[in-house]
């Protein structure tokens, strides 16, 4: 049976893999699967600055590089993520600003399309994917949704259900899925325990 094309799907699940509380976890940071649970890809944390998205076969898909203006005080300044393909060519970006960086991510796709991933409210577990309107806010048409839930209240593991419309092409879906990884990183920085913003 052939593996589904990750960027052809309109819905995927990005989540933290289950782990034992009693042993040191050494697996991937995040796993990407179909809604039915078929594994598609995984995200490996290389050094808290570089993250690799690979297929379950191990084939490299994307490198996500995290950049912030001053690393020791990164929670106070903007953070930017750059996505690069296997030829080290930039294929998209995501950026977050403010003290609560998970309120909104500004995305730029490989084709130059600008998108916003915006939280509906301060305590909301849902983000809407839209294009910015000329006034600077999100446009009314929703191109996708990201809904977060806890899959293990004891260890605080998170799962992101990602839904995208047919108005996005494969390269734009690639940027959206990479931005969900970034959303997880600004909500739950590596090594920060169960911190959630």
Are 126 and 163 in contact by the 8 Å Cβ rule? The answer is no
- CATH code: domain of residue 155: 2.40.160
Q: What is the mean pLDDT of residues 75-84?
A: 87
Are 129 and 116 in contact by the 8 Å Cβ rule? The answer is yes
Hunting for tokens 């080290």 — which residue is that?
Answer: 88
pLDDT of residue 194: 45
Pull the structure tokens for residue 36: 């039915």
**Each residue's pLDDT tens digit, 66-77:** 987 665 555 667
- Could you tell me the pTM of the whole model? 0.89
List 51's β-bridge partners, or say none.
Answer: 45, 64
pLDDT at residue 18 above 80? yes
The reply to whether 196 falls in a domain is: no
Range of the domain at 39: 6-187
Mean pLDDT taken over the chain: 87
Pull the structure tokens for residue 90: 């930039």
Pull the structure tokens for residue 164: 């995208």
Domains: count for the chain:
1
Q: How many CB atoms lie within 10 A of CB 19?
A: 14
pLDDT at residue 152 above 80? no
Are 39 and 31 in contact by the 8 Å Cβ rule? The answer is yes
The reply to whether 192 falls in a domain is: no
**Each residue's pLDDT tens digit, 39-61:** 999 999 999 899 999 999 999 99
The reply to whether 140 falls in a domain is: yes
Least confident segment among 85-89, 136-140, 166-170, 186-190: 136-140
Task: Tell me what percent of the residues of the chain surpass a pLDDT of 90.
Answer: 64
């Amino acid at each position: 049976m052939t593996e589904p094309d990750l960027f052809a799907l309109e819905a995927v699940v990005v989540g933290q893999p289950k782990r034992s509380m009693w042993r040191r976890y050494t697996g991937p940071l995040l796993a990407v699967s179909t809604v039915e649970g078929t594994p598609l890809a995984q995200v490996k944390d290389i050094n808290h600055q570089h993250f690799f998205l690979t297929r379950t076969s191990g084939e490299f898909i994307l490198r996500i590089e995290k950049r912030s203006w001053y690393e020791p005080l990164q929670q106070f300044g903007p953070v930017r993520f750059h996505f690069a393909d296997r030829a080290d060519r930039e294929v998209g970006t995501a950026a977050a600003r403010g003290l609560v960086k998970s309120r909104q991510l500004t995305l730029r796709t490989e084709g130059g399309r600008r998108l916003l991933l915006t939280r509906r409210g301060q305590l909301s577990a849902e983000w809407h994917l839209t294009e910015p309107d000329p006034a600077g806010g999100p446009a009314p048409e929703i191109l996708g949704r990201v809904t977060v839930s806890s899959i293990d209240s004891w260890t605080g593991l998170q799962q992101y259900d990602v839904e995208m419309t047919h108005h996005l092409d494969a390269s734009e879906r690639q940027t959206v899925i990479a931005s969900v990884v970034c959303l997880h990183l600004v909500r739950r920085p590596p090594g920060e325990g169960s911190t959630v913003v």
